[in-house]
Amino acid sequence: WKDAKAVAADLKPIYQATTLEEAEAALDAFSTKWDALYPAISQIWIRHWDNVIPIFDDPMDIRKVIYTTNAIESLNRSLRKVIKTKAVFPDEESVFKLMYLAMNNIAKRWNRPIKNWKAALSHFAILFPGRFNY
């Protein structure tokens, strides 16, 4: 716990890098600095690097929305709360119906905009033409 803030600060240059090359250099720098104390952290990044790489194809505005997970975590917590009260589902369709209804109820409570959403939405409209109606 004593190094948590310093480790988190040194991880930021990895996921906030503008290019893949910068991210790889930042990961190397992180490994050099922290592997003596916490080798597992850089090994997890290296092991899952193929899953991390695609984020560098997106503009920074989209990336900020993707890795800001508070809204996603809140949604997942709310969905788990709904599922926890049910012990058994008769079939897969009943799970989908319950999730749909739960999401509709959860969406009614959403009142704060997602940070950087307008900029990300503009990029989404460019990347996926025809999917947005303004």
- Token reading at 17: 């890098």
Q: What is the pLDDT of residue 134?
A: 60
Domain boundaries, the chain: 3-56, 64-127
pTM attached to this predicted model:
0.61
End-to-end CA distance of the chain: 47
Q: What is the pLDDT of residue 21?
A: 94
Q: What is the pLDDT of residue 69?
A: 64
Q: Evaluate whether 19 touches 56 at the Cβ level (below 8 Å).
A: yes
Read off the pLDDT band of 85 (50, 70, 90): confident
3-state secondary structure of 94: helix
Average pLDDT estimate for 26-51: 95
- Token reading at 71: 């809204």
Tokens 């240059």, located at residue: 13
Q: For 108-130, what is each residue's pLDDT tens digit?
A: 887 777 777 888 888 888 888 88
3-state secondary structure of 114: coil
